[in-house]
Amino acid sequence: VKQVTRAEKDKLVRILEDYYNHLRSLQGRSLICAILGCHAIRMAPSERLAKTIYVVVMRNAEFVPPAGGLGQVRLKVDLKGSWVQRRTGTAGSQWVAEALMQPCVPGQRVPTAKDCDLLEALHTQPVQEGLRRLGVEGLLGPLAADSAFLTAHNVMDYSLLLLFFADHAPQCFVIDYLQDWDAGKWAETTAKSVRQLATRCRLPTCLWLKGGRCAGPLAPGVSSVPPPVYGPRFVQNLENLLNSE
């Protein structure tokens, strides 16, 4: 269960029919983490202070079908179509690999890595083994279809949540996909553009060698760019990253 804003609720209602048809057309292969219901809850300690909150009920990304329950997640990785500020600040290759080898402790917080953390750890055996079990080749087609659908509906800044389990092959899902490209995001892009223009655009070496490009209006590498830029860059960056050796 996840709380959403009124704007996100309105977005879901507008695209609902196309959303349903898209998920159905991919016959279970879509990577979009499915929304199963949307509800409004009116919180009213008094009529004057009444407030409506909106929640969506989503498929649990940690559910492991063969076991019929929740898997033991060792590491979460939040991947985007961007590379600016996509690092946790910790030495990636060391802590990411260690997280994949640590035993799962009930109640212990699961660490979350980002794009550049995973990029720095790609050469390690635990990451290579995990990506091999993920079966990247079979995911790229559905990922491109999902991204094209979201682009067509003016959505950007979504992520691919990659889960590494202790007791199951990795799984991944597209999440946070109700963000419209609007005036607020345009202003965010402008602000980041000014900051980025003061520095030199640097792509991760792996992405550059594999043909990645500094894409985006004035602000290469940031997440707040128009959907026609974000979508293809999202797919290209993930293909480059997950296929890296």
- Total tally of structural domains belonging to the chain: 1
220/190 Cα distance (integer angstroms) = 12
pTM equals: 0.82
Q: Is residue 199 part of a domain?
A: yes
Residue 196 sits in which domain range? 60-242
Which pLDDT tens digit goes with each residue over 187-237? 666 666 555 555 554 444 333 334 444 433 445 566 777 888 889 989 988
Q: Give the pLDDT confidence score for residue 208 in this predicted structure.
A: 37
Q: Is residue 45 part of a domain?
A: no
In whole numbers, what is the pLDDT of the chain averaged over residues?
82
Q: Give the pLDDT confidence score for residue 122 in this predicted structure.
A: 87
Residues 6 or more apart in contact with residue 181 via CB below 8 angstroms: 154, 155, 156, 226, 227
Q: Is residue 55 part of a domain?
A: no
Mean pLDDT by groups of 10 residues along the chain of 245 residues? 94 96 95 96 83 94 76 90 73 81 82 88 90 90 97 94 91 93 66 56 41 44 79 89 73
Q: Is residue 14 part of a domain?
A: no
Angle between helices 6-25 and 137-152 (to 10 degrees): 130
* DSSP alpha helix (H) spans, 153-216: 183-197, 205-209
Q: Is residue 49 part of a domain?
A: no
